[in-house]
Amino acid sequence: MLGSAKKEKQIVTALLKEAGVTVGGDNPYDIAVNNEKFYERVLGQGSLGLGESYMDEWWDCKKLDEFFNRVLRARLDTKIRNWKFLSYLAKAAIFNAGNYKRAFRIGEKHYDVGNDLYKKMLDDRMVYTCGYWKDAKDLNEAQEAKLDLVCRKIGIKQGMKVLDIGCGWGSFAKFTAEKYGAHVTGVTVSKEQVEFGRKLCKGLPVDILLKDYRDIEGEFDAVVSLGMFEHVGYKNYKTYMKKVYELLKNDGLFLLHTIGGNSSTVATDPWINKYIFPGGMIPSIKQIGKSAENLFVMEDWHNFGSDYDKTLMAWFERFDNGWEDLDADYGNKFYRMWKYYLLASAGSFRARKNQLWQIVLSKNLSGRYDRVT
């Protein structure tokens, strides 16, 4: 057993060295191992073991974001694959994690975790998607710029009927109704978001509904989806696109704002799936293109993934600064879990493993499209 433990330590140490990370090193992205069983756990469980062992305080790192930037750039995530991971992928390929029966699970698991948490972490508008930092000085400006960019890209005008699929706490609906005079229908699978959003948008031409996208009815001048497509699942991409096509007027535009991956997958990271976004997955260019084929014309494809690194670091700073008021209700293990989630995500965008895409689609009946930046 001792020999095996020594070998496992050597393997993990050597892999980390490929990424320029030293166990017990002095750099802020180096790691300190507090439990020698860490090595066995990582080799046996892969990313799930890495995340859970961090939650259990088996290892620490001063700059998790930079640790993950280095690990992902070195593609270490592809070098530790075991039978459990392969079994996980096989199940994901067979089962439809985004089916109708599971539609509200993500709301209960993630978005209903507590509005107090999100108020501390997010900007003043409570926008839980990537900000647009081109000319922004801080998170509030970046989020307002993003909301305005979306409106300009799809030509929002006074009196238009706009559908927001995955409306969050109502930030886009409120902004669009107040600034552009649009009538907005927002749908979400989170009860907490519905309650908050209705209060936020009170007195405005806004309806916030607790509803799965498959149940939406009506006809809209424009459709937006900001950070919701990641919960649809690859088995449902075509169903989703057909539904949007059905809801969108012939001369309307659809803006899809989603995290994207460099290759096609059938599941998300096992740790993220278990603790953060159950049933979620990141689409690829190929998967999005196939789902939109024979339905939409791709008018514009804008990548500003590096802005998500900045957004996530800003979210972590706010979360960390506000933790004293949250600690009693959430506890240390939750703090480490949430810190790991935010900073690992920041590292993934910094390493260019993940992207952030805004895609404008039309029915090819709207004539010329003028690109907005």
The CATH code belonging to domain 100-362 is 3.40.50.150
* CA distances from residue 62 to 9, 29, 34, 110, 305 in whole angstroms, order as listed: 21, 6, 14, 26, 24
Question: Residue 94: what pLDDT?
Answer: 47
Question: Residue 275: what pLDDT?
Answer: 94
- List b or e across 300-339, with b for residues whose CB sees 16 or more CB atoms inside 10 angstroms: bebebbebbbbbbbbbbebbbeebeebeeebeeebbbbbb
Cβ neighbours around 16 below 10 Å, total: 21
Query: What are the pLDDT digits (tens) for 86-114?
Result: 444 444 444 556 666 666 777 787 888 89
For 313-339, the three-class secondary structure string (H helix, E strand, C coil) is HHHHHHHHHCHHHCHHHHCHHHHHHHH
- Distance between CA atoms of 358 and 339, rounded to whole angstroms? 27
Query: What are the pLDDT digits (tens) for 105-145?
Result: 777 878 888 999 999 999 999 999 999 999 999 999 999 99
Question: Residue 110: what pLDDT?
Answer: 87
Rounded to an integer, the average pLDDT of 326-353 is 97
Domain boundaries, the chain: 2-81, 100-362
Query: What are the pLDDT digits (tens) for 168-208?
Result: 999 999 999 999 999 999 999 999 999 999 999 999 999 99
Rounded to an integer, the average pLDDT of 212-223 is 97
Rounded to an integer, the average pLDDT of 60-73 is 96
Q: Give yes or no for residue 83 having a pLDDT over 50.
A: no
Question: Residue 89: what pLDDT?
Answer: 41
Question: Residue 98: what pLDDT?
Answer: 60
Question: Residue 91: what pLDDT?
Answer: 47
Question: Residue 77: what pLDDT?
Answer: 81
Q: Which is higher by pLDDT, 25 or 43? A: 25
Helices then strands (H, E): number in the chain? Answer: 15, 9
- Mean pLDDT score of the chain, rounded to an integer? 91
Query: What are the pLDDT digits (tens) for 253-309?
Result: 999 999 999 999 888 889 999 999 998 899 999 999 999 999 999 999 999 999 999
Q: Give yes or no for residue 242 having a pLDDT over 60.
A: yes
pTM metric for this prediction: 0.93
Residue 53 DSSP SS3: helix
Question: Residue 101: what pLDDT?
Answer: 61
